[in-house]
Structure 1
């Protein structure tokens, strides 16, 4: 351990004491005996941060890993904060978990710690999706909740999402306050691990029907579903929780011809058929696409392990199944909801939609077409949930989404909901099929009306301490040496969300950004292109987003304009992505 700094060595020594169980101590000692200094550094160079979204990290021993002690500490800190916020009340929390390795045992561990703190726990009997946890928090009138999941991260990861009493993930001031409580715990002895059975209520399969029926009442065009009930749907849960509820909701909605991808139907934390269980990835959707091609599917859908994100493939004019991106799915859903509400004379003056700052402006354009207010938030669906909670009883939320494949129709939950989205995507497909249109044709119509938007995301993975330092330096360099042109197009405005200042490069004028601080930089070109740089809050990545737009006079020009915009995106990305 000669190259390790003193602070890291002190943490390692602490984990070798009798405070920790013998199995943990043995694993730490083995790393030392094998002289695995890189692993020791990454496992102990810091405390795994209970960030504003909770915990997420690689599973294993160490202060910077997901394990019994880091999860126990997070739960004890959250319990302490809940008790301070809700004095003289019987505090209740809901706990669920996904299909990842150790998620169930971590879920029971969380329930144990809460119960030991005299907090009543509604613990899901079996794995269930994240949106059902959000729904349960509200249904059982809980003050908080925890979901054990690392979403679409690789199999080595697990995570801990903390929720507040509105069913949304923690936002200000609770996020920072809980972090303070977690950091205040200095010893394992402060964590109460002893389960109190009387404080735990098991939530069984019967809860599925409550959630499914609540969603079914949101259906806009049940007559279209009835007319197209044999719509050919192919669905894959990618070895995750979606298998428990998505087929149920599609059946309850009225769809009778749903094919589940058998190879990916069994929950499995090793995700044996994919590299990443992420429906954004072509690889993760390839088996479902193949099955859809064989069956001539009308729509192909796949959800990530905790079923809060959904990917979609549809047939293009050439007859091939094409993965559409999160911006396109969100735009289609927004158009479907708003146009349908208008046709049924159900639009209200106080209706609104929401998107994040890195999500396509096509969604805002659609809102403007229908006279519906559009709100914009920081990246992360918890901020969309925060808007819904703040405006509850004053304005009427219809639909919201973010480019990273997360959407929500209606306000039953306060998080992105792939189960709800699968039902609405299927209904939307049925509705437009009744009109003789495919989703691809509808998308082209939107481009003709509002302009052809083309988006791309590039993620650079930088693991460990060295990677974290590199990402930090990349953002410092971008701020110090902001590009004057991108892809040969002049930059006219820079939005620095960390400093909450927008600067017009030409005039030098500045204005305040009316959003909380966030480590995001946006560059707006004279053409209206939007390029964003943002370190991920949940993965060891820095993300670069690009959105460009050009008029599409006629759908027949689709391929030509698409190729032109694709080249423009490539040129811009080549300029901004370094390393």
Structure 2
């Protein structure tokens, strides 16, 4: 351990004391005895921190791992903060968990710590999706909540999403203030692990119907659903919580021909049929897509383990099933909600949509086309939730989303909601099928009307402390040596969200960025291409996003323009990654 800095060594030594249970001490001691220096360093070089998705990490022993002590410390810190922020109220929290290994155990432990601190807990009896947790916080009038999930991460991960009283994930100043409270805990002996059962109320299955009924009120065209009730839908929960709610909500909506991918229907934290339980991945969607092809389905959908993100496959112009990316799904949803509401005469001056800075500008182009306002936030749906909360009773949120497959129609929750999205994607499919169109047909119409956007995401995985240091250095280098040309096109503007300033390279003018600080760089070319570099807040990755646009004068030119844009994207991405 002599190769480690003093703080890392100090953490290791602390975890070898009698403050920790014998099994934990034995596991740490074995790592020391076996000289597992890389594992020791990665497990102890820092404390787990809240990122865009909360607390998330690999399960195991150590201060930088997900275990009873890091979760207990986070919960004790959150308990202390809640009691300070709401001193004269009965403090209440909701707790739920997904299908990951240890999620239920962690959920019960978190509920125990809250209850031991005199906080009333609404604990879900069985696994439920993340949006149900957000809904429960608002429904039960809670001041906070916790969801045990690592979303779409690999099976060795788990996570802890903390929520505030609006049903949204923690944002400033609460996120940093909770971390301050957590860091103030000097010993795990300060964590109250012994639960008080009288403070815990079990949320049973009948709560599902309350959530489903509230969502059903949002349906724009129930009469079209009735006309297309036999729409062929294929759904996979990819071994996650989607199985508990998505089939139920589709049935309640009125869809009678839903086929669940049986091989992926059982919740299982080992995710045995996929490499990663991520609907962004072709491989994770392959089983659902195959079932869709076999049944000649109208739409194929699959949700991630905590059912806050959804992937979609539809038949393209050639009659083969094609996966849509998150920008395409979100653009279709935006177009459907706005066009359907306009058709019914329900669009209002105070309506708005929201997207993140790395999400396609097609969202806002569509909104502008309908005379609807659009807002832009930092990456992470918690920031979209924050906009909804801040504008509540002033303006009217309709739909929003991000390129990473997270969407929300209506404001019942303050987080992305794949259960809600599946219902609206099905309704949207029925609406356009009633007009003789597939979702792919409509996507091409959108491109023809608003411009053909082509996007690509490249993620580079850099694990452990060495990887974190490498990612940090990559961002330093990009700031110090910003590219002047990408894909043969001159860069005209650089937006540095960390320093909150935009630089016009033509005029030299600097403009302030009115968003919180975030380690993101964007390069805008003279063609209007947008290239973004951003370290992930939830995974050991650095992500590069590219969005290019060209006019599509006729749908018949789709293949030609798609090929041209794809070539441009490849050139740009080669330059930015090489840079």
Shorter-chain TM range is over 0.9
1:141-165 Cα distance to aligned partner (Å, 9 max, x none): 0000000000000000000000000
Q: CA 1:52 to 1:277, structure 2 compared with 1: closer, same or farther past 3 Å?
A: closer
What is the aligned partner in structure 2 of residue 374 from structure 1?
A: 374
Matched, 1:209 2:204: no
Report the alpha carbon displacement of residue 411 of structure 1 after superposing the two structures with TM: 0.3
Map residues 197-276 of structure 1 onto 2, 5 A cutoff.
197-276=197-276
Query: Residue 483 of structure 1: CA displacement?
Result: 0.3
- Listed as ranges, the matches of 1:94-105 within 5 Å are 94-105=94-105
Q: Is the 8 A contact 2:50 2:175 kept in 1?
A: no
Say whether the 8 Å CA contact 2:279–2:311 is kept in structure 1.
yes
Kept in 1, the 8 Å contact 2:52–2:382? The answer is no
Secondary structure of the residue that 1:531 maps to in structure 2?
strand
Query: Which secondary structure does the structure 2 equivalent of 1:123 belong to?
Result: strand
Deviations 1:248-297 (A, max 9, x none): 00000000000000110000000001111000000000000000000000
Shift of 1:8: 1.8
Conserved 8 A contact 2:53-2:380: no
SS at match of 1:104: helix
* Partner in structure 1 of residue 139 of structure 2: 139
Measure, in 2, the Cα distance between the counterparts of 1:286 and 1:342. 36
Q: Give the structure 1 partner of residue 451 of structure 2.
A: 451
**1-side partners of 2:215 and 2:156: how far apart?**
33
Structure 1 SS opposite 2:19: coil
**Residues 393-438 of structure 1: per-residue CA shift (max 9 Å, x gap):** 0100000000000000000000000000000000000000000000
1:564 — aligned with what? 564
**Corresponding position of 2:34:** 34
| Distance (whole Å) between structure 1 residues aligned to residue 271 and residue 4 of structure 2 | 34
Instruction: For residue 449 of structure 1, report the CA deviation from its aligned partner.
Output: 0.5
Identify the residue that residue 518 of structure 1 maps to in structure 2. 518
Q: Distance between the aligned counterparts of 1:543 and 1:54, measured in 2?
A: 18
Shift in Å, 1:5:
3.1
CA offsets 1:199-223 (integer angstroms, 9 cap, x no match): 0000000000000110001000011
Question: Which residue is equivalent to 1:433?
Answer: 433
Residue of structure 1 in register with 2:485 after alignment: 485
Q: Deviations over 1:469-511 (max 9, x none)?
A: 0000000000000000000000000000011101100110111
Looking at structure 2, the residues matched to 257 and 566 of structure 1 have their Cα atoms a distance apart, in angstroms, of 36
1:45 is displaced (CA, Å) by 1.2
Aligned partner of 2:574 in structure 1 is 574
Structure-1-length-normalised TM-score:
0.99
- Superposed CA RMSD: 0.8
> Partner of 1:495 in structure 2?
495
What residue number does 1:424 align with?
A: 424
In the TM superposition, residue 2 of structure 1 has moved relative to its aligned partner by 4.2
Flag structure 1 segments of 5+ consecutive residues without an equivalent.
Answer: none
- 1:4 alignment partner in structure 2: 4
Query: 1:245 aligns to what SS in structure 2?
Result: helix
Give the C-alpha shift of residue 52 in structure 1.
Answer: 5.9
Which residue of the partner structure matches residue 302 of structure 1? 302
Partners of 1:241 and 1:305 within 8 A in 2: yes
Q: In the superposition, relative to structure 1, how do residues 491 and 52 fare at CA in structure 2: closer, same or farther (>3 Å)?
A: closer
Can you list the C-alpha shifts for 1:25-58, whole angstroms capped at 9, x where unaligned?
1111111222211111111111122446421000
Q: Measure the CA separation in 2 of the matches of 1:461 and 1:360.
A: 23
CA contact (8 A) 1:382 1:414 kept: yes
Shift of 1:7: 2.5
Residues 4 and 41 in structure 1, CA contact (< 8 A), matched pair in contact too: yes
Contact 2:151–2:305, Cα closer than 8 Å, also in 1: yes
CA distance in 2, matches of 1:246, 1:53: 23
Q: C-alpha separation between the residues in 2 aligned to 1:371 and 1:4?
A: 58
| Pairing 1:351-390 to 2, within 5 Å after superposition | 351-390=351-390
Tell me how far apart the structure 2 counterparts of residues 414 and 392 of structure 1 sit (CA, whole Å): 11
Q: Does 2:192 match 1:192?
A: yes
Contact 1:52–1:175, Cα closer than 8 Å, also in 2: no
Residues 323-359 of structure 1: CA deviation (Å, up to 9, x unaligned): 0000000000000000011000000110011000100
- Partner of residue 160, structure 2: 160
Count of aligned residue pairs for this structure pair? 579
* Matched-pair contact (CA < 8 Å) for 1:56–1:160: yes
Q: Conserved in 2, the CA contact under 8 Å of 1:238 and 1:271?
A: yes
CA contact (8 A) 2:336 2:428 kept: yes
Provide, for residues 367-386 of structure 1, a one-character-per-residue CA deviation record: whole Å limited to 9, x for no partner. 01110000000001000000
Conserved in 2, the CA contact under 8 Å of 1:50 and 1:182? no
The match for 1:83 is: 83
For the residue of structure 1 that corresponds to 2:266, the secondary structure is coil
Question: Using the alignment, how far apart are the partners of 2:561 and 2:484 within structure 1?
Answer: 26
Q: CA contact under 8 A between 2:330 and 2:401: conserved in structure 1?
A: yes
1:316 aligns with 2:316: yes
